[in-house]
Every structure is written in C-alpha cells, then in structure tokens.
Amino acid sequence: MVSGTHLAAFAALTFLLVVVPGPSVLFTISRALTAGRRDALLTVVGNAAGVYTQVVAVAFGLGTLVTTSAAVFTAIKVAGAVYLVYLGIQAVRHRRKLTEAMAATVRATRGRVPAVLRDGFVVGFANPKSIVFLAALLPQFADPAAGSVPAQMLVLGLCLPAIALATDSAWALVAGTARTWFARSPRRLELVGGTGGLVMIGLGTSLAFTGRGD
C-alpha cells in the first residue's frame, strides 16, 4: 500500500512538472483557439488518458526501456512530433472554415468526439517530458516492502492525470474565452486559426529536437 508521505511527495513533484507549460498545455491552448473550449476540454481528457497510459507502461517495464534505449525514446518522441505537425497543418489549411465551425450544429459536433479524444491521447502518450519524469522518479516512490511495486506505481501515477486535468482545463477555459472575443470577427477568427496551427507546427518541430533532459 502506498504511504501518505510518498503520495504527498510525489503529488508535489507532479504539480511542479504540470504547472510549467509543456507540449500538452501548449497543444490544449492551440486547440482552444482553433476549435473552441469544448474541443480543448476533450483534448485535456484524452491527454490525461494518454499520460496515464505512460504510467501503466512505466509500471510494467517500459520506463526502463525508454531510459536505456535511445531508439525507443526517439521513436516515441518523433511519433508525437509528426502528429502535432500534421494537426498544425490541418489547422492552417482549414482556418477559413472556423466561422462555419462556430455555427455547426450540436449533432455534427458530437461526431468529432472520438477524434478529439484521440488527438489528446496521442499527444499525451508521446510527451517526452512526462515519460522521462515518470521513468526517472516514479519507481523511487514505490516501496518493495509495502507490497506490489507495479500496483503502487499505478496508484502514485494517478496524481499526474488528476493534476493535469485540473490545470490544463483551466488553460482551456481561459483560451476558449479569448477565442470568443476573436470569434466576433471572421477575420480575427481566421487569424487565430492560422496562428494556432503554426503554434502546433512549431511545437511539433521543437519536440522532435527535444533531448532526454527535457
């Protein structure tokens, strides 16, 4: 069983990791500006699921593989980078359709839920910032004398998606509110769409060159 002291200490470290904007936060803000508050919040949920998948992977051995194999680390990082660049290009290409998207019916919007959740999941799972953090620190907070180490890591790892859900949702709401002002003018909204797409492309490009120390 996880001790309260270990849980509190890991939660504090996790908060410090999450509060500093990284790929997930920047992607959430870009999604809020280009697609709106609702899609941004769905992205946050998908992202949290992707991050917890990292926790599961670390608990059952992937963490060791990532920290010792440059090839595995690079593969995960590049996959996330390529996907972000792809999403950014799509946002730039379809920036002129944002005004139409604002007026879309609820029925049409609902059909996008799986895709939005998937986007968030992929970005969350491929985030090198969190995978390195988990691989390096999560095992240190598990006490073999207290029971199953993987089970303890699964419990401790809940801190990351829980804190990320709270903080990233706040970013999504703030950015979504800003988008509402931009939406009053089709020209402003088109500018937001193009800028958000460029941010995603830049984020993906920088992620591709992120080293193990990030």
- How many domains, the chain? 1
pLDDT, mean of each 10-residue run, the chain (214 residues): 85 81 77 82 94 90 60 68 72 57 43 82 83 78 83 92 92 80 59 64 69 47
Whether 161 is in a domain gets the answer: yes
According to the model, what pLDDT value does residue 132 have? 73
Q: What is the pLDDT of residue 192?
A: 58
Q: CA distances (Å), 73 to each of 69, 130, 131, 206, in order?
A: 6, 12, 9, 15
- pLDDT of 162 reads 95
Classify residue 111: in a domain, yes or no.
yes
Would the pTM of this model clear 0.75, i.e. be above it? Answer: no
Distances in Å between the Cα of 1 and the Cα atoms of 30, 58, 118 are: 39, 18, 33
Contacts of 120 by beta carbon, 8 Å cutoff, 6+ apart:
27, 28, 42, 43, 44, 45, 46, 47, 48, 49, 50
Structure tokens at 177: 């509110």
Is position 18 within any domain? no
Q: Is residue 17 part of a domain?
A: no
In a domain, 159, yes or no: yes
pLDDT score recorded for residue 108: 40
The rounded distance, in Å, linking the Cα atoms of 157 and 3 is 14
**φ and ψ at residue 94, rounded to 5 degrees:** -105, 20
The range of the structural domain enclosing residue 97 comes to 4-12+23-208
Domain membership of residue 99 (yes or no) is yes
Q: Say what the pLDDT of residue 56 is.
A: 92
Dist. CA 81–CA 90, nearest whole Å: 14
Question: Is residue 132, in this structure, part of any structural domain at all?
Answer: yes
| Residue 38 included in any domain | yes
User: Residues 7, 159: contact at Cβ < 8 Å?
Assistant: yes
